[in-house]
Structure 1
């Protein structure tokens, strides 16, 4: 599939060069890439789900390794793998129910019909054992194979050639059915990623009350839409925006809020603790939500969370489901942070004599981390598309989106890219 390989290589290069940043952008483009992989994948006559799983997993390992800090990429890969398993399970369950009904009608009539072949006793017993097994992929595939009707030897009178053609058509239709269902589910996932801001913003009127003071840090589209939705519902409130050094994204957010008519005040990050006593609520976005309820967020938010806890101010995190990572912070696959260029902090011309390590004279180190880790005990509430949740409930919510078999993904560097 040369077309898919080109798409994968281009996406890997964009991730490596940091041309794609942000959880929503990476999640949406990852889902679109995997949809292309699935649509162009040629499935065998048997084990179609296994073939799809292997294809998606192979691509997922490459794109995850390209930029491990973008956890949304791995989240979407695991979501798509979970979708494939669910759709295959649904088809297997439907096939089992249909064959069970056929077997029951044949037993009642005690007459063998050409359009409903009688199942053997071994097949019925195997089907009974299969229903009692844990719902693994191997069990589902075995169930589909075992429950296939016993083929009738072709005879000149029974038209064996036509029966063989019909079985071939049936297998082909099942393959197309699985791909069609998976692609439809991935389309729904893409739609959910696109509209997650609107779905979260609909809950703003229930959380933001009249004449409250809200503090946020940096820039987040989810926070912007959330606050503007409350403003549209005739809520009157004030917003303190910490500027979010060194990139000063908070200044951009403050300008957008002011343009939409919200009372906005820009403060320095260092002034957060001094002004937190005047704040009724802290509302922030997140880069990723871990399985234990911890948050990977823009640098500086840990300081804000500590200040909010010290003054008993609710600390609310807005996060779409594509940001929910099924891994824990101590997992070796989780890269909690990355460091940007020191040029965002210092002008090299003024400090060149202190930063020149080639001559051994360098005595100044410049560290510019991008993210903070906020432990779950500092988070008061999570707001997602499905409503508000406590940090202790996040692991259960995340378990609905992923399969346990897909949590561990290899991150070998991609070759030929």
Structure 2
């Protein structure tokens, strides 16, 4: 078993030094790390879910603090916490149902038909819990079991064996909870690994013959989406805005040409001039917020405004790990990150303008933001690994993936 503390510290160091880039890579490694933490965690018999939640939260707080701008890390931590609550609720429902049926069989003496007995519905319990986004713990549910459902205490001699049986049952449930949580995290990791393929499979439904598509910068999701349409014998053309100052659009253009896709590179400032020729804008984003607004590479808000002006659909392709349950106005959310001015200007050439200590005139300031915020009203469609959705439906996906108790992870200082 690997040392989880060493794994956590190593991942935190990589996040702080920005050695891991991209939401997909950070989400994949965060899920893998949390799986290791859950596997190594010793679970108490009295409150199994609480110990797993505390362990995941403790690690999650450190990961989020290491790089608050990488929202995918917080998303995965909250997804894992939701998984623990859901699996705990499922086991509690099963236990309650078993106790209820046992008590009824003792009281009725076989007079009532089993099909006529009012059974505790797991679906009803789960639906009630999801409606409030609060999953009760196993301890809480069992605490309110009616006395009629309790196993009668027959004799003192039988009490010891009964206690041993209960202890064995608790140990069994503890091991099953941990096993089920790890299995669910494995499914989450598989979803992250296959999200690009799941999104690309939908390309043929959205890209039609002889269309002109515009994108900005480079996104792996966009690249695979376009390449999948090409493999289905769709003939189309792509305008790629270069994405200054990092010019990732040049990289994407080379990749598309290598796949045989007609590609034209344009400057970012030419987007408004070219948008009237475009049938659809397809872009990748950094994060999708709870209000369906998106945090995207810098320059995409300009593209979205141009698309709205010319009534061109603005389509966002993103994996479900980029769904963030926070709103842009939440204090935990950092909407932007400033990169080095050296990406814009050569310090040697402009050193005389940037000398703050010379006192000769006002110095030159350089601002190099990484992201734009695109409001939901500018987004026509979201294509995720679960299908295509309108902006108004994104809240439902977020409700399915996250619990309200886990929205705020970092402790107030």
d(CA) in 1 for partners of 2:257, 2:409 = 44
SS in 2 for 1:210: coil
User: For 1:220-369, what aligned pairs fall within 5 Å after superposition?
Assistant: 220-361=219-360, 363-369=363-369
Per mean C-alpha deviation after superposition, the further-off stretch among 354-363 and 285-294 is: 354-363
**Alignment RMSD (CA, Å):** 2.4
Partner of 2:75: 75
Partner of 2:89: 89
Partner of 2:15: 15
Q: 1:59 to 1:153 in 2, by over 3 A?
A: farther
d(CA) in 1 for partners of 2:108, 2:51 = 39
**Is the Cα–Cα contact under 8 Å of residues 154 and 161 in structure 1 kept in the other structure?**
no
Alignment of 1:393 with 2:386, yes or no, is: no
Partner of 2:29: 29
How many residue pairs align between the two structures? 395
SS in 1 for 2:296: strand
Partner of 1:53: 53
d(CA) in 1 for partners of 2:70, 2:33 = 16
Per mean C-alpha deviation after superposition, the further-off stretch among 137-146 and 18-27 is: 137-146
Q: 1:32 to 1:238 in 2, by over 3 A?
A: same
Q: Deviations over 1:150-179 (max 9, x none)?
A: 4737644x4x54444333322211111000
Per mean C-alpha deviation after superposition, the further-off stretch among 355-364 and 177-186 is: 355-364
SS in 2 for 1:400: helix
**Is the Cα–Cα contact under 8 Å of residues 65 and 412 in structure 1 kept in the other structure?**
no
Per mean C-alpha deviation after superposition, the further-off stretch among 300-309 and 147-156 is: 147-156
Partner of 2:117: none
Q: 1:325 to 1:360 in 2, by over 3 A?
A: farther
Partner of 1:3: 3
d(CA) in 2 for partners of 1:411, 1:167 = 37
d(CA) in 1 for partners of 2:3, 2:34 = 13
Q: Deviations over 1:105-141 (max 9, x none)?
A: 1112289xxxxxxxxxxxx9xxxx9x99967444642
d(CA) in 2 for partners of 1:367, 1:411 = 31
**Is the Cα–Cα contact under 8 Å of residues 89 and 137 in structure 2 kept in the other structure?**
no
Partner of 2:105: 105
Name stretches of at least 5 consecutive residues in structure 1 with no aligned partner: 112-123
SS in 2 for 1:265: strand
Alignment of 1:210 with 2:242, yes or no, is: no
Per mean C-alpha deviation after superposition, the further-off stretch among 186-195 and 1-10 is: 1-10
d(CA) in 1 for partners of 2:217, 2:133 = 44
- Scaled by the length of structure 1, the TM-score of the pair is 0.90
SS in 1 for 2:181: helix
**Is the Cα–Cα contact under 8 Å of residues 288 and 297 in structure 1 kept in the other structure?**
yes
d(CA) in 1 for partners of 2:155, 2:63 = 49
**Is the Cα–Cα contact under 8 Å of residues 62 and 412 in structure 1 kept in the other structure?**
no
- Scaled by the length of structure 2, the TM-score of the pair is 0.90
Partner of 1:116: none
Partner of 1:118: none
SS in 1 for 2:401: coil
Q: 1:171 to 1:151 in 2, by over 3 A?
A: farther
Q: 1:6 to 1:360 in 2, by over 3 A?
A: farther
d(CA) in 2 for partners of 1:102, 1:135 = 30
d(CA) in 1 for partners of 2:57, 2:67 = 16
Alignment of 1:200 with 2:202, yes or no, is: no
SS in 2 for 1:257: helix
Q: 1:257 to 1:135 in 2, by over 3 A?
A: closer
**Is the Cα–Cα contact under 8 Å of residues 294 and 373 in structure 1 kept in the other structure?**
yes
SS in 1 for 2:265: strand
Partner of 2:115: none
Partner of 1:115: none
